[in-house]
Amino acid sequence: MTITVTDVLSIIRKIADISLVWLIFYFILKNIRNNVKLSLLLKGVIFIIILKLISQWLGFVTIGLLLEYIIQWGPVALIIIFQPEIRTILEQLGRSQLLGRHKILTVDERERMVYEMVNAIDYLRKERIGALIVIERDISLGNYIDKAKKIYADLSSDLLIALFYEGNPLHDGGVIIQGDRITCAGAVFPTSSSPKLNRRLGTRHRAALGLAEETDAICIVVSEETGRVSIALKGELLYNLNLDDVRMLLIDELRPKQDAEFDEEEIIDEEEIYEENNE
């Protein structure tokens, strides 16, 4: 059997076609995973489909008919009801960086970054200075950066403290960090409407959780009233953390994904560097 050039091109086109479809599904599922509301929506849709199959298998006519109507008209209802969430995931797909973070930090760069941030957080919490520090990861925060005050400066504890000082006009907004540089200050983020959030928590905590629900960013909050430190991550708010918890969480979350198999060894190395810096 002779294989012609046309056959080879046909095979290449089919492979490219299937690869593009899988790539689209990958980015959609990745962004759904990073968005709490859309994750719950996807689970609800899967539950309805499974329930429909079970009712059809057991011969439940009434419930099967109701579920059929839901499946038939559900997409239209979902588009209307969840229009903000659908718009959010489309925006995330547009803002996502195909090759991950813009800069892969070395161990020394990550440790220096964590060291400077922990020093700033320690000062801010002791002085009861409110702060919201956001670290960009795979999902771009360009939409928020565009509306904030650009800085583009090397990360340092002194600069972070100065940005959140009460006399600074930018102290009420959030600071966004890309790689090991402070990109902007005075950023405004969407607030969370989660019923699980304590009503006593203020705007900074709600903004941090709101951003963590829509992106994969790490959002660090220092309470102005209590001096307590919290971190919003992956749609959850970790409240009242000590400095060691903050340091270990940052080291773990900022580590490149491809280095996951060396987790334990790298954590030990970074702890030793941190202790040397403290000395």
pLDDT in tens, the chain (279 residues): 566 778 778 888 888 888 888 887 777 676 666 556 667 777 777 888 888 888 888 888 887 788 787 777 777 777 777 676 666 666 555 555 444 445 567 888 888 999 999 999 999 999 999 999 999 988 888 888 888 999 989 999 999 999 998 888 888 889 999 988 999 999 999 888 777 777 788 889 999 999 998 888 999 999 998 999 999 998 889 988 999 999 999 998 888 765 544 454 444 455 555 455 555
Count, in order, helices (H) and strands (E) of the chain. Answer: 10, 7
Q: Which residues contact 36 (CB under 8 A, 6 or more apart)?
A: 213, 235
pLDDT for res 109: 85
Q: Among 185, 204, 187, 197, which residue's Cα sits nearest to residue 128?
A: 204
pLDDT for res 134: 95
Domains for the chain: give ranges and CATH numbers: 5-95 (no CATH), 107-278 (3.40.1700.10)
| C-beta of residue 55 within 8 angstroms of C-beta of residue 64 | yes
pLDDT for res 268: 46
Structure tokens at 72: 């038939």
pTM: 0.63
Q: Among 268, 265, 275, 258, which residue's Cα sits nearest to residue 105?
A: 258
d(Cα 124, Cα 228) in Å, to the nearest integer?
Answer: 10
